[in-house]
Amino acid sequence: MNESIELVERSPTVEEYQVLRRSTGWAMLPDQDVRQGLDRTLYSVCALASGRMVGCGRVVGDGALYFYVQDLIVLREHQGRGIGRMMMDKVMAWLDRNAGPDAFVGLMAAKGYSPFYARYGFQPRPGNAPGMYLVRGDSGQADEQAGG
């Protein structure tokens, strides 16, 4: 797979997003909820190979105090090619331009991916400050939903 990768600052379509989720084993979500979530994204970057989307990364939050890196996803067959790093570089550059010096930037890394995010300065929460989450209507697939 020697296709060159092009990064485009845009949101994925609902269909593209659902393909990415399906390819990585993440829980599927209703299209209308995906559309609303994508519409409210602060920043998105998509990775294209031969014009086909093979990855995306998003930033969500309130745009001032709190930012969350969300949905950094690469199609399984394109993983290991540095696409995640390229998208994360774009995400971090956007955060550098748009998040103030005292802003909180968080994420929830999928199991095994913490070292990837540590390169960018992300740290695990200390043991005395555990993170928590709630997935409404959880059908036992919260682990996939919580992935970053």
For 110-119, what is each residue's pLDDT tens digit?
888 899 999 9
**137 Ramachandran zone, left/alpha/beta (phi>0; psi -120 to 50):** left
Domain map (residue ranges) of the chain: 5-145
| pLDDT value, residue 127 | 79
Measure Cα distances from 114 to 7, 79, 101, 124 in Å.
Answer: 23, 16, 23, 8
pTM: 0.86
Place of tokens 């994360």: 88
Look at residue 30 and tell me whether its pLDDT is greater than 80: yes
- The whole-angstrom separation of Cα 21 and Cα 79 is 14
Look at residue 145 and tell me whether its pLDDT is greater than 50: no
Look at residue 20 and tell me whether its pLDDT is greater than 60: yes
Instruction: Give 109's pLDDT tier (boundaries 50, 70, 90).
Output: confident
Query: Between β-strands 52-61 and 43-49, what pairing exists: parallel, antiparallel or unpaired?
Result: antiparallel
Give per-residue pLDDT as tens, 42-61: 999 999 999 999 999 999 99
| pLDDT value, residue 1 | 56
Question: Per-residue pLDDT averaged across 53-80, rounded?
Answer: 95
CATH architecture assigned to 5-145? 3-Layer(aba) Sandwich (3.40)
